[in-house]
Structure 1
Amino acid sequence: MKTTFPLAGRRTAVIGAGVVGLATAYALARRGARVHLIDRSTGPAMGTSFANGAQLSYAYTDAMAGPAVWKQLPGLLFGNDRCFRARNSLDLDYFRWGLSFLRNATAGRNRRNTLDVLALAQASREEMDALLERHPIQFEHRVAGKLHVYYSAEAFHTARAMVELKQAHGVRQWLVSPEEAMGIEPALAGATGMAGAVYSPEEAVGDPWRFATGLLEILRRDYAVEASFNRRVTALRRDGQHWQVHSAQRTVQTFDQVVVCTGIDAARLLRPLGIRVPVMAVKGYSFTAPCGSRAPTTSITDTSRKLVFARLGSSIRVAGLAEVNEWDTTPEAARVRDLVDLARASLPQAADYDQVASHWAGLRPVTPTSAPVIRAASPGLALNLGHGMLGWTLAMGSAERLAAVLHHAR
């Protein structure tokens, strides 16, 4: 990637130091911008990026809103679905987001939105490869391949159309029988009732927190990026040709440009500026446990229970559950138990479920289309947020797209 000089020397605040914010800082610093990362947490990737599903899903970019949502709607709205539910409220933003989400739950829009994100994911894979060639980072990264396992013949049949759609766009992905799936991943011998699977051999895994800490070290050492942690931004104010960033510590810093990468916190920060972003919190959970006697080496997605299994060295990361409009990051003990029980039922010997090392909950920032918001919001102010379940996957490509937005805005 050639340096684009219009950003050189521009004092730039990147607010949010998750994987998206760090990737954005990297893309801008490489182009000569003077970058200052600001985050409310004690270190990088302490929010939604910290312990997510660990899967880099470059092929599986299926939009969350699709025709299947209509069948799930009663369970979603009335809490009958153990895996996918919503906290109903009278909040106007919740209704706006929900109606827009349902408008996107058609076959045509689902295909369009899936392909939009697929293009970004493919670009992101290329940027990740280029980063690791330039700056090797140790974060348990490997190409593991992925099996999306279906337990419903109807759902497996529906998956065929999406596979064919993505194959036409150069994706290596195909349908396999239960026997073929078990041949690819013997750990699936513990699963019962499989209708079939979708196999994506080029999918990868990695520890997002280790990636983030490694990238931050490189940013500081090689690109003179500054980072301020334990600093909660309370307001953004335009000051002539510059932007003021106000924090809870009563500090005010002035920048030439600001990029907001704060996920679900963006709405609070941007609303006083008259900027609305269609982002909804979808709470998810994960736990990390020692590998069991039949731990998979291939990434596994159980589409029925809505779980993902990813092997990270000697540990297994299991992530799942989706709670729409839930804004509290506190892990609820009952929901952690639900996740462990679901995982045990799915792959009984994948992990040592009695020795869970850690559990976590995070808020995924989801748009109605499942595509992130990457745009200039006003002169000197840009947005890179709303990556939903795929922030880890899309971070590097989104950062490049954001850099292009700022380049053309100059």
Structure 2
Amino acid sequence: MLPVEPHGEPAGADLVVLGAGVVGLATAYAAARRGLSVLLLDRADGPVQGTSFANGAQLSYAYTDAMAGPSTWKQLPAMLLGRNGPFRTRWSADPDFWRWGLAFLRQTGAARLRTNTLATLELALESRTALHALLQRHPIAFDHAVSGKLHVYHDAAALQGAAAMIALKQPFGVEQHLLDARQAIATEPALAAMPGIAGAVHSPQEEAGDPFLFGTGLLDVLQRHYGAQARFGFDVQHVVRQGDGWRLQPRAGAAVQARRLVVCNGIDGAALLRPLGVRVPLMAIKGYSFTAPCGVRAPAASITDTSRKLVFCRLGERMRVAGLADLNHWDPHPDPERMAQLVAMARASMPEAVDYDNIENRWAGLRPVTPWSSPEIHAVADGLVCNLGHGMLGWTLAMGSGERAVALAMAR
């Protein structure tokens, strides 16, 4: 039961977290672990209902490569003009669309690729440490496994290009190995059914886990062990400065006053902060996934098919398959044609990995991406911190992002 004050509003909290996806929940835990009282707010009717609900499920601590790099120019025609490929763009006259696109293209140099990749890698390694510390203190069941990951290539030149990224990350303790086709299949026998393999990058320390099970388990930990409060169905309309704090006004119901506020509500965060004079450059990149029982030749390791831009991630006796990237598509509902395309691509890639005739769940979500592929974690005003823009790596970066955001909030 949520503690309430006499006039019906939630009891006061030291810190309010807006957004109860994996990033918001990790932020709430970082605050509660430090002894702060916490209130979580989310417009959904429960936690982990948005982009966190059924994402690719891989905890990709080693694979933090920025989206933009020198190879972007070669891929640009397909990205901008393609209709049925893994990546497609919805054109718009919206100035924010063009601002984001130009900022993205400014990140395509080799130096920016290196800087952006290493910035995300640093946060990813912090996140791994924070997740392991959480699980030592509070074991949460979420089909967690250190299963390793194989990034599979069908083009020999692209495979050799991956060697440069391996060398970039090795000084930071990242273990990755370049494998030829024979070695890749020996490492993961399920790859024998994938046609045309040139080789793979093997990251043996990569992990996987169901973000929905993790989020619901973490909320239970927060409420039972730390007395955290949660208020769902809170559809915030605007945030305004009030006194020495912030007032969150929902579209219906009572407002909430926050002394410290961390904004973790994903793609909606940019529009919420804009009236305050805060610009966070976020673009919606819509992704899809489906979940089904394992097939007769299901991989134990996570697999990324780089040609089709697909990920296969084993969650116990289920397989999560995720892919597609629809730039500037803002409707979170699955497009049936696009979903059918994802299933067809997965069948062509790993025909026996999944029981494709018994799909349990079809999902789409809006991934909030910055031009530089790293999240925006900043104190944007006194007592107000943004923790936004995690893109395709929100699940991977959640725990470290929460630690950074709360440290900033407590410093103000």
Q: TM-score, normalised by structure 1?
A: 0.96
**1:230 Cα offset (Å):** 1.1
Question: What amino acid maps onto 1:397 in structure 2?
Answer: G
Would the aligned equivalents of 2:260 and 2:409 in 1 still touch at CA under 8 Å? no
Q: Say whether 1:342 aligns with 2:345.
A: yes
- 2:3 corresponding residue in structure 1: none
Q: Say whether 1:257 aligns with 2:260.
A: yes
For residue 224 of structure 1, the aligned residue among 208, 223, 227 is: 227
- 1:311 corresponding residue in structure 2: 314
Q: Say whether 1:78 aligns with 2:81.
A: yes
Would the aligned equivalents of 1:149 and 1:197 in 2 still touch at CA under 8 Å? yes
Distance (Å, rounded) in 1 between the aligned partners of 2:285 and 2:49: 17
Q: Percent identity?
A: 59
Distance (Å, rounded) in 2 between the aligned partners of 1:93 and 1:260: 20
Distance (Å, rounded) in 1 between the aligned partners of 2:121 and 2:257: 37
**1:283 Cα offset (Å):** 0.2
- 2:145 corresponding residue in structure 1: 142
**1:309 Cα offset (Å):** 0.2
Would the aligned equivalents of 1:308 and 1:320 in 2 still touch at CA under 8 Å? yes
Deviations 1:56-112 (A, max 9, x none): 000000011112211111111112451011111011001010001010011111111
Distance (Å, rounded) in 1 between the aligned partners of 2:83 and 2:171: 37
Distance (Å, rounded) in 2 between the aligned partners of 1:325 and 1:80: 14
Q: Say whether 1:269 aligns with 2:272.
A: yes
Q: Which runs of 5+ in 1 are unaligned?
A: 1-8
- 2:389 corresponding residue in structure 1: 386
Distance (Å, rounded) in 2 between the aligned partners of 1:401 and 1:137: 22
Distance (Å, rounded) in 1 between the aligned partners of 2:182 and 2:84: 30
Distance (Å, rounded) in 1 between the aligned partners of 2:409 and 2:390: 19
- 1:357 corresponding residue in structure 2: 360
Q: What SS class does the counterpart of residue 140 from structure 2 fall into?
A: coil
Q: Say whether 1:60 aligns with 2:63.
A: yes
Q: What SS class does the counterpart of residue 143 from structure 1 fall into?
A: coil
Q: What SS class does the counterpart of residue 168 from structure 1 fall into?
A: helix
- 1:16 corresponding residue in structure 2: 19
Would the aligned equivalents of 2:262 and 2:409 in 1 still touch at CA under 8 Å? no
User: Map of 1:118-129 to 2, 5 A cutoff?
Assistant: 118-129=121-132
Q: Say whether 1:32 aligns with 2:35.
A: yes
- 2:9 corresponding residue in structure 1: none
Q: TM-score, normalised by structure 2?
A: 0.96
Distance (Å, rounded) in 1 between the aligned partners of 2:305 and 2:129: 27
Q: What SS class does the counterpart of residue 142 from structure 1 fall into?
A: coil
Query: What is the RMSD of the two structures over their aligned residues, measured on CA atoms?
Result: 1.0
4+ aligned runs moved over 6 Å, structure 1? none
Distance (Å, rounded) in 1 between the aligned partners of 2:409 and 2:272: 20
Would the aligned equivalents of 1:75 and 1:81 in 2 still touch at CA under 8 Å? no
**1:242 Cα offset (Å):** 1.6
- 1:6 corresponding residue in structure 2: none
**1:136 Cα offset (Å):** 0.2
Q: What SS class does the counterpart of residue 172 from structure 2 fall into?
A: coil
**1:255 Cα offset (Å):** 1.5
Would the aligned equivalents of 1:149 and 1:300 in 2 still touch at CA under 8 Å? yes
Distance (Å, rounded) in 1 between the aligned partners of 2:13 and 2:378: 18
